[in-house]
Amino acid sequence: MVDSQYFLPNDIGVAALDCVEAFGLLSPQEKLYAHYLSHASWYGGLAVLLQTSPESPLIFVLLQRIFRKQSPSQLEVVATAAGLSSEEYQAFLVYAAGLYANMGNYKSFGDSKFIPNLPKEKLDALVRASQAFKDDPTEMAALWDSCSCPIYSLMDKQKQLGLGDKGITTYFSGNCGMEDAELAQKFLDSKKLSAYNTRLFKRENGDKTCYEVRLASAVKKDCAVEGECDFCCGCFDFEGKEFSVKRGDYAPIMERVCHYLQKAEAHAANDNQKKMLEEYRRSFSLGSVEAHKEGSRFWIKDKGPIVESYIGFIESYRDPFGSRGEFEGFVAVVNKAMSERFAKLVSSAEVLLPELPWPREFEKDAFLKPDFTSLDVLTFAGSGIPAGINIPNYDDIRQSEGFKNVSLGNVLAVAYSTNKEKLTFLGEEDKDLFVKWKSPSFEVQVGLHELLGHGSGKLFVRDVEGKFNFEKNAVVNPETGELISSWYQDSETWDSKFSSIASSYEECRAECVGLYLSLIKDVLSIFGHEGQDAEDVVYVNWLSMARGGLLGLEFYTPESKSWRQAHMQARFVILRVLLEAGEGLVTLKEVAAADGKPDALVALDRAKIRTVGKDAIRRFLCKLQVFKSTGDVDKGRALYEHYSTVGESGTHNFLRLRETVLLRKEDRKMFVQANTRINEESVELIEYEGNASGLIKSFVERFHDSDKLEADLLELRRLDSSCWC
Ligand code: ZN
């Protein structure tokens, strides 16, 4: 029996990344720009196959060839005839979807290998019975023979990514170890070369060791003159070893990236975007990281674009040495409809802020809209999709020129939503409501949290000249009934004073503002919810907060008694406050499930939200704000730590509940992304079903030069393997 961590379960969550509303509202020019950038991203993302494992490009080509000839439903007929059970065929579809979603046969989160959850003989029978095999038996047999063993192999070294004996990597040739990586880094540093877009191949030539540093570039020819770019190709002696710097890694892929970036340039919205793309093109064409940095500088200057993107060798988590970047490319777009609703919320701030449970004097003199951008992802190519981005990674640029911090709305929405069968800890009737209203209620909560949550409340400050920003003899602390007696001294800030609890406490305050203001009819109207629908949105919003508090326990470490995630801690704190309110508002029970394993059930009494619930949040939120405004770190910390404690409280054993949460944790979801296609001058969005077949189809239809592309990938793979000793 294979350990289940090495395959993806048949019922793994697969969800379509919804971008319809946002994409539909783009102008024709914005759509073209997004279309060409998406193409550049998808083609570039194929480099990840070559960055993951030797067999990944082979498996990709094998799957593309099989599914280009037969759709998943057509192939199912073949599978049944070849003796596969429906579970075995589903396991194959899940494996294929997993390979596409991770751009290789290692999980992008956790870096462990996954293999198909069906016997090798069955997969062998299916491959040989496929139409693709019948049409071209020699080629397909060769392809299948070259990858069938590595697909299934779980030798210790192959179980995870790593260098030398520790695991598999293709950032280095197989004969490299940590000492080679260290020496190469010294060499690169001496040449002021960045490792981001490189790989290292070692060859023993008699008694001489030669290292080849390969730069990702469309141009294969080495640079002829010094100064043509920021480095010089060629051979160098370094500490008794030979290093040769060569261009042309992933050349046919980089060529396609450059081609589409150039196409996108014609539809750029402004000069910054044009210059940014020009520099990226120079980077991918010549292999220059300096050019990519230049492009990133223009990218930072392109503030609040309708179509946002970033592309290149970015994150270095998967290089065992930690300095080589994995390719990623994304295109995300402003959801104009959502932005409009958020803008309405901001323009209602004047009437909404006085509804918050603190005295007028505790509110800012003028409302300042927080810097918050929510984008919907159209395309995210690479090994996985994050819920937010904070780039560039170049430290020198971050410090002097800044960075961008963006929340990816439709990714978050999918991550928190789920199909009914997968919903944990809720009663049957709540599950239906949850599925229906989770996304709309999430949007209301996000808007309130980000804009009026983080945007509200005042800090009392005594400045360097001794002046106060409030009337010292007039402001009364509503908690004590006395004049306020503490404040921030000039140099003190919220973060410096509340240090370790500052971020979670602030998230908790913003979440409470969201819960509290979501009760207001006019707020729900802004988001288009009236009558019973509005009531359901409120109910699901509060219910999902209570459930979120329970799920949050996953991010608590009992050994160190610490929380690892600010938002999840905040939700747990709110759950505690709601439970404490009593009167049957929220009930949390440990139950025995049909599968015999421990389970839990969260319930919320709808009739008590506006009475017991509102009152509990009002009192707690007021305390949070008063301690924050007055810089009363002692009381603030005591309050927050009291509710953050994970132990036994009343009838609840939260440590035991945490075990249940871990036991019933859902696997990471896979996302199905749309394609774009030019249709008589206009760009069409093509969507796919949110399941393994939909994910497979999206990849089959994504590349329009498939024959040539697959040949190029096999050739790149062959070039790599000639260097693996
Ligand atoms: Zn927040």
Q: How far, in Å, CA of 462 to CA of 491, rounded?
A: 9
Please name which of 38, 240, 99, 55 lies closest in space to residue 676, comparing C-alpha atoms. Answer: 38
Q: Considering only 312-326, 368-382, 537-551, which range has the smallest mean pLDDT?
A: 368-382
How remote is the CA of residue 582 from the centroid of ligand 1, in Å?
A: 27
Q: How far, in Å, CA of 708 to CA of 703, rounded?
A: 10
Q: How far, in Å, CA of 429 to CA of 41, rounded?
A: 42
Alpha helices in 136-209 (DSSP H): 137-152, 178-190
pLDDT at 19: 95
Bridge partner residues of 602 (DSSP): 426, 588
Residue 654, C-beta contacts closer than 8 angstroms, at least 6 positions apart = 553, 646, 647, 648
Please name which of 99, 77, 105, 101 lies closest in space to residue 89, comparing C-alpha atoms. Answer: 77
Q: How far, in Å, CA of 33 to CA of 263, rounded?
A: 8
Share of the chain above pLDDT 90, in %: 79
The beta strands (E) that lie in 240-348 are given as 241-249, 307-315, 326-334
pLDDT at 373: 77
- At residue 595 the predicted structure's pLDDT band, cuts being 50, 70 and 90, is confident
How large is the average pLDDT for residues 595-620?
A: 97
Q: How far, in Å, CA of 114 to CA of 106, rounded?
A: 6
How remote is the CA of residue 424 from the centroid of ligand 1, in Å?
A: 25
Q: What is the rounded (10 degree) CA torsion for 611, 613, 619, 624? A: -150
Tokens 């220059």 belong to which residue?
A: 288
Residue 98, C-beta contacts closer than 8 angstroms, at least 6 positions apart = 8, 12, 105, 107, 114, 670
How remote is the CA of residue 449 from the centroid of ligand 1, in Å?
A: 6
Residue 658 parent element (H or E): helix 654-663
Q: Say if residues 560 and 544 touch (Cβ distance below 8 Å).
A: no
How remote is the CA of residue 570 from the centroid of ligand 1, in Å?
A: 10
DSSP secondary structure letter of residue 11: T
How remote is the CA of residue 506 from the centroid of ligand 1, in Å?
A: 7
- In 3-state terms the chain splits into helix, strand, coil percentages (rounded to 5) of 50, 15, 30
Q: What pTM did the predictor assign?
A: 0.84
User: What DSSP line would sit under 94-149, residue for residue?
Assistant: HHHHHHHHHTSSB-TTT-BB---SS-HHHHHHHHHHSHHHHHSHHHHHHHHHHHHH
How remote is the CA of residue 40 from the centroid of ligand 1, in Å?
A: 33
**How many Cβ atoms sit within 10 Å of the Cβ of residue 591?**
10
Is residue 212 helix, strand or coil? Answer: strand
The beta strands (E) that lie in 225-296 are given as 234-238, 241-249
How large is the average pLDDT for residues 88-102?
A: 98
Q: Say if residues 57 and 367 touch (Cβ distance below 8 Å).
A: no
How remote is the CA of residue 450 from the centroid of ligand 1, in Å?
A: 6
Q: How far, in Å, CA of 327 to CA of 279, rounded?
A: 17
Tokens 């990236």 belong to which residue?
A: 257
- At residue 723 the predicted structure's pLDDT band, cuts being 50, 70 and 90, is low
Share of the chain above pLDDT 70, in %: 98
How remote is the CA of residue 510 from the centroid of ligand 1, in Å?
A: 6
Q: How far, in Å, CA of 158 to CA of 725, rounded?
A: 16
Q: How far, in Å, CA of 230 to CA of 287, rounded?
A: 9
Residue 565 has pLDDT above 60, yes or no: yes
Bridge partner residues of 2 (DSSP): none
pLDDT at 83: 97
**How many Cβ atoms sit within 10 Å of the Cβ of residue 12?**
18
How remote is the CA of residue 505 from the centroid of ligand 1, in Å?
A: 10
How remote is the CA of residue 453 from the centroid of ligand 1, in Å?
A: 8
Residue 428 parent element (H or E): helix 428-447
Residue 487 parent element (H or E): none
- At residue 493 the predicted structure's pLDDT band, cuts being 50, 70 and 90, is confident
Tokens 């759950």 belong to which residue?
A: 575
Tens-digit pLDDT profile for residues 618-667: 999 999 999 999 999 999 999 999 999 999 988 999 999 999 999 998 77
Tens-digit pLDDT profile for residues 706-715: 999 999 999 9
Options 294, 328, 450, 511, the catalytic residue: 450
The two structure tokens encoding residue 207: 């008694």
The two structure tokens encoding residue 125: 């029978």
As a residue count, the chain comes to 725
How large is the average pLDDT for residues 522-546?
A: 97
pLDDT at 244: 94
Residue 391, C-beta contacts closer than 8 angstroms, at least 6 positions apart = 296, 310, 314, 403, 404
Q: Say if residues 661 and 550 touch (Cβ distance below 8 Å).
A: yes
Residue 241 has pLDDT above 90, yes or no: yes
Q: How far, in Å, CA of 150 to CA of 147, rounded?
A: 5
How remote is the CA of residue 511 from the centroid of ligand 1, in Å?
A: 7
The two structure tokens encoding residue 396: 């020198």
How remote is the CA of residue 371 from the centroid of ligand 1, in Å?
A: 11
How large is the average pLDDT for residues 391-404?
A: 83
Amino acid symbol at 604: L
How remote is the CA of residue 448 from the centroid of ligand 1, in Å?
A: 10
pLDDT at 372: 75
Cis check: omega of the bond before 392, within 30 degrees of 0: yes
Bridge partner residues of 682 (DSSP): 679
The alpha carbons of the chain give a radius of gyration, in whole angstroms, of 28
CA 252 → CA 43, 455, 720, distances in Å?
10, 48, 14
pLDDT at 416: 66
Q: Say if residues 381 and 41 touch (Cβ distance below 8 Å).
A: yes
Q: How far, in Å, CA of 427 to CA of 147, rounded?
A: 46
Q: How far, in Å, CA of 294 to CA of 181, rounded?
A: 27
Residue 230 has pLDDT above 60, yes or no: no
The beta strands (E) that lie in 409-474 are given as 461-462
How large is the average pLDDT for residues 68-82?
A: 98
Strands 586-592 vs 488-489: parallel, antiparallel or unpaired? unpaired
Tens-digit pLDDT profile for residues 683-711: 999 999 999 999 999 999 999 899 999 99
Axis crossing angle, helix 531-551 with helix 654-663, rounded to the nearest 10: 100
Contacts 24+ apart (CB under 8 A), 265-270: 266/32, 267/29, 267/30, 267/32, 267/33, 267/36, 268/33, 269/29, 269/30, 269/33, 269/305, 269/306, 269/307, 270/302, 270/305
Region of residue 178 (phi > 0: left; psi between -120 and 50: alpha; otherwise: beta): alpha
3-state secondary structure 141-156: HHHHHHHHHHHHCCCH
355 is catalytic: no
pLDDT at 725: 39
Q: How many C-alpha atoms does 76 have within 13 Å on its Cβ side?
A: 11
Q: How far, in Å, CA of 555 to CA of 29, rounded?
A: 43
Tens-digit pLDDT profile for residues 179-195: 999 999 999 999 989 99
How remote is the CA of residue 526 from the centroid of ligand 1, in Å?
A: 21
Residue 85 parent element (H or E): none
Residue 387 has pLDDT above 80, yes or no: no
How large is the average pLDDT for residues 563-580?
A: 95
Amino acid symbol at 707: D
Residue 51 has pLDDT above 60, yes or no: yes
How remote is the CA of residue 386 from the centroid of ligand 1, in Å?
A: 17
Is residue 334 helix, strand or coil? Answer: strand
**How many Cβ atoms sit within 10 Å of the Cβ of residue 103?**
26
The two structure tokens encoding residue 167: 């695991």
Cα end-to-end span (Å), the chain = 32
Residue 610 parent element (H or E): none
CA 684 → CA 34, 264, 675, 690, 704, distances in Å?
11, 16, 8, 19, 15
